[in-house]
Structure 1
Amino acid sequence: MDFKNDAQIDSDSIDNSAGGPGRGGGGGGRIVLGGGAGIVVLILALVFGVNPGDILGTDSGTGTETSQSTAVSTSSCRTGADANRDPNCRWAAYATSVNQYWGTQIDGYTKARIKPFSGQISTACGTADSQTGPFYCSGDKLVYLDTGFLSQLFTELGTKSSTAAEAYVIAHEYGHHAQDLLGTLAKAHASGNQTGAHSPSVRLELQADCYAGAYLKWASDNPDDLIENVTSADIAKIVDAAKAVGDDHIQEQSSGRVNQDAWTHGSSKMRVYWTQRGFNASSLASCDTFSTNNLDG
């Protein structure tokens, strides 16, 4: 997968403001992470998450919070050639492309921006650290991303990092932004923090996978988009990434056992199926995970 050299990048798609937006409408509080080996399990379980506070819970602690933003200068990220040359420009390129896609799908679409950070950051959904993994916060409409952790995560999960896999991760998070704008996110969250193979949480994640697949197909077919040359090898890497973040695969790696009742994101088979379904879909109606019990394909 490449970036078209002469395609324009929206430099405003990255939020490089110092620190975080602070506490606000998303629920506040600090995200509580377990210690020791539990952190590793939570790191893996949270990848592609929506709101960390919804999964981990928050407390009312008043401890000191620190917030840092990675030094990702987008002033020189103007074209696809810049993204091909400078890895720091890739995030703005992904965001530019996926925002353009959703602008064709949702009337009155409001863009979301990516917020790179390192260390710890205060968000409208609570406080997150670099080990939380990529996530979308509905409280401030930002996709939070620790870029160094993402590369580490691919290694931990036994898959390889690539521009295609990175695009899949970003597209998944923007799928949650679309769900937010369409009201799907609020409806699912209203049902509480249920878990299990057919829970609202799993349906949200599988739909975001499907949306990511639909976006990648659009990008590969659209001659005017910033992304080009999505190959069969790229699709294979995307499928590998989807397999790696299945709940069953994560559970097998962490404990050697599979417990469907604890699933929050879906099995590897589910995630691959819905990603591929989105890639082959003629419309987003094919991504309705809430109207079927056949989530395995």
Structure 2
Amino acid sequence: MRIRVVLAVVAVLAVLLTAGCASAVDGRAFAGPQVSAGLDPQFVRDNDGSDDDRLAAAVLRDLEGWWGEQFPRVADGQRFEPPKGYFSVDSSRPGPPPPCTESTDEVEGNAFYCPRADVIAYDRAALIPVLREEFGDSAVVVVLAHEFGHAVQQRLEDTVATSASLGSGAPTILSEGQADCYAGSFLRAVHDGDTSDLRTGDAGIDAAMSALITFRDPVGTDARDDRAHGNAFDRVSSFQDGYADGAGSCAQMTLTNRSFTQQAFASLSDAQSGGNLPLPDLLRAMGTDLDRFFGALVKAKGGQWTAPTIRQGQDACGQGAVGLCDGGVVQADEALDGIHDGLGDYASGTLLASRYALAALAATGRPTTGPAAGRTALCLAGAYTADVGAPGSDFSLSPGDLDEAVNLLRRSDDAATATDGTVADTTAYARIADFRQGVDGGADRCLALR
């Protein structure tokens, strides 16, 4: 976060991105259970028959079958034609390059769809095995489903009669967001057992989202960049919308009904600090801003508000790194220092906001214990986040803040913990979804969750 002051833009920051769809940045994730799959990859050009190629082949065949059913629903009944070819590339050694490239080096650590040749290529040396090791097999599914989504977009663009086409002038971040949405809708089919060869559980869905989070754009990338894919919040939001609402909802994405939170740094000093405040400064200043938001909310609901006191280096009352303890005191134990230094200041800020949210629930006569209280507190933390920077706020969000919140929620259930230690949201998917409800719908939607 950044304390609101008048800043002069003293430099234009150029962010260099790789050309393909998989440009990894910092961050690791937890591997989910393997997708049960394995198909003869003979239809994939230059494959070596390995388990990695067999998994990729199973994903591609299930994508063909699933889109064969889905495409007519979004394309005015027109039949789906699969891509013209698939290429497995070993980027670790010289060899024949796939279409649309001049050497195998161009595919290193990447996967792409080439509309000119209507083919999908992936690196079996430095992409597929890395995804499997870092996240689990579901990460391979989401990456290839994303690229397949671009093939779907090309077909919709060629189908003049349908309103589902983005059009050739669509900004990159919109087309990438729609591809993430399509990937989410396919992963829902895999999760629900609606595909022939692939299966995964809740942990696999979390692992797929973790891959998207890791492949987010570098913090500070302008959303207007012609290679922008979105920050972690944008990418996960698109994925979850597709997972929850299906491919038809993805096909209707436009700049009119879709907003993106990714932003460039406003100043050189903000970029140099990563938009992060030291923890003591954050605790002092953020308490005032949280008091502003939650005090107004409590008063609007007919309650009496007394701002909590924040104490650092204290036991968190069994609620993780930060707890709302007896006497209305928000206590942060030493674990918060590690979260702050490792994930960023708005990871700490999200935890603080969720504890202030519990104080607001108590002040309006609502329970602070049990699963519903934890969910509501997390949602209200999202509502507060959406209000940061409003008139009267002492803060504005820095470009990396929402990513920091998402990274916290994918790793920890602390922000969804009630005062009795109960946790309702046991998956990263559910935690991020509840947080997003607050960001998108505000406090009233959160209070209606109960």
Change (3 A) 1:126 1:269: same
Superposition RMSD in Å: 3.3
Is the contact between residue 188 and residue 243 of structure 2 (CA under 8 Å) also seen in structure 1?
Answer: yes
- Partner of residue 127 from structure 1, selected from 90, 102, 111: 102
- Give the count of matched residue pairs: 210
Q: Output the CA distance in 2 between the equivalents of 1:168 and 1:105.
A: 17
Change (3 A) 1:286 1:260: closer
TM-score by length of 2: 0.41
Match of 2:398 in 1: none
Instruction: State whether structure 2 residue 144 is matched by structure 1 residue 170.
Output: yes
Secondary structure of the residue aligned to 2:121 is strand
- Partner of residue 245 from structure 2, selected from 267, 275, 281: 281
Is the contact between residue 48 and residue 172 of structure 1 (CA under 8 Å) also seen in structure 2?
Answer: no
Q: Output the CA distance in 2 between the equivalents of 1:46 and 1:216.
A: 22
Is the contact between residue 153 and residue 166 of structure 2 (CA under 8 Å) also seen in structure 1?
Answer: no
1:125-174, Cα deviation, whole Å (9 max, x unpaired):
3435334321001122210111112157659xxx9242100000000000
Higher relative contact order, chain-length normalized (CA < 8 Å, sep 6+): 1
1:22-76, Cα deviation, whole Å (9 max, x unpaired):
xxxxxxxxxxxxxxxx9xx544x52349xxxxxxxxxxxxxxxxxxx744239xx
Q: Output the CA distance in 1 between the equivalents of 2:228 and 2:158.
A: 16
Instruction: State whether structure 2 residue 58 is matched by structure 1 residue 93.
Output: yes
- Partner of residue 181 from structure 2, selected from 201, 210, 225: 210
Match of 1:140 in 2: 117
Q: How far off is 1:271 after superposition?
A: 0.3
The letter for the 2-side match of 1:285 is S
Q: Output the CA distance in 1 between the equivalents of 2:193 and 2:201.
A: 14
Secondary structure of the residue aligned to 2:134 is coil
Is the contact between residue 99 and residue 117 of structure 2 (CA under 8 Å) also seen in structure 1?
Answer: yes
Match of 1:104 in 2: 69
Match of 1:7 in 2: none
- Partner of residue 226 from structure 1, selected from 185, 197, 204: 197
Larger Rg: 2
Match of 1:179 in 2: 153
Q: Output the CA distance in 1 between the equivalents of 2:181 and 2:246.
A: 12
Is the contact between residue 111 and residue 121 of structure 2 (CA under 8 Å) also seen in structure 1?
Answer: yes
Q: How far off is 1:114 after superposition?
A: 2.1
The letter for the 2-side match of 1:227 is L
The letter for the 2-side match of 1:264 is A
Instruction: Calculate percent identity across the aligned residue pairs.
Output: 21
Q: Output the CA distance in 1 between the equivalents of 2:96 and 2:248.
A: 34
Q: How far off is 1:231 after superposition?
A: 1.3
Match of 1:63 in 2: none
Q: Output the CA distance in 2 between the equivalents of 1:283 and 1:151.
A: 25
The letter for the 1-side match of 2:138 is A
Aligned 1:41-52 pairs, distance under 5 A: 42-43=17-18, 46-48=20-22
Change (3 A) 1:202 1:128: farther
Secondary structure of the residue aligned to 1:143 is strand
The letter for the 2-side match of 1:221 is D
Q: How far off is 1:202 after superposition?
A: 0.6
The letter for the 1-side match of 2:230 is G
Secondary structure of the residue aligned to 1:127 is coil
Q: Output the CA distance in 1 between the equivalents of 2:208 and 2:195.
A: 22
Q: How far off is 1:200 after superposition?
A: 1.3
The letter for the 1-side match of 2:115 is S
Secondary structure of the residue aligned to 1:213 is helix
- Partner of residue 114 from structure 1, selected from 77, 86, 98: 86
Q: How far off is 1:110 after superposition?
A: 1.0
Q: How far off is 1:101 after superposition?
A: 0.7
Q: How far off is 1:261 after superposition?
A: 4.2
1:166-202, Cα deviation, whole Å (9 max, x unpaired):
00000000001111111179976743xxxxxxx6111
Tell me, which stretches of 5 or more residues in structure 1 are unaligned?
1-37, 50-68, 75-85, 192-198
Q: Output the CA distance in 2 between the equivalents of 1:160 and 1:109.
A: 33
Change (3 A) 1:184 1:160: farther
Is the contact between residue 98 and residue 104 of structure 2 (CA under 8 Å) also seen in structure 1?
Answer: no
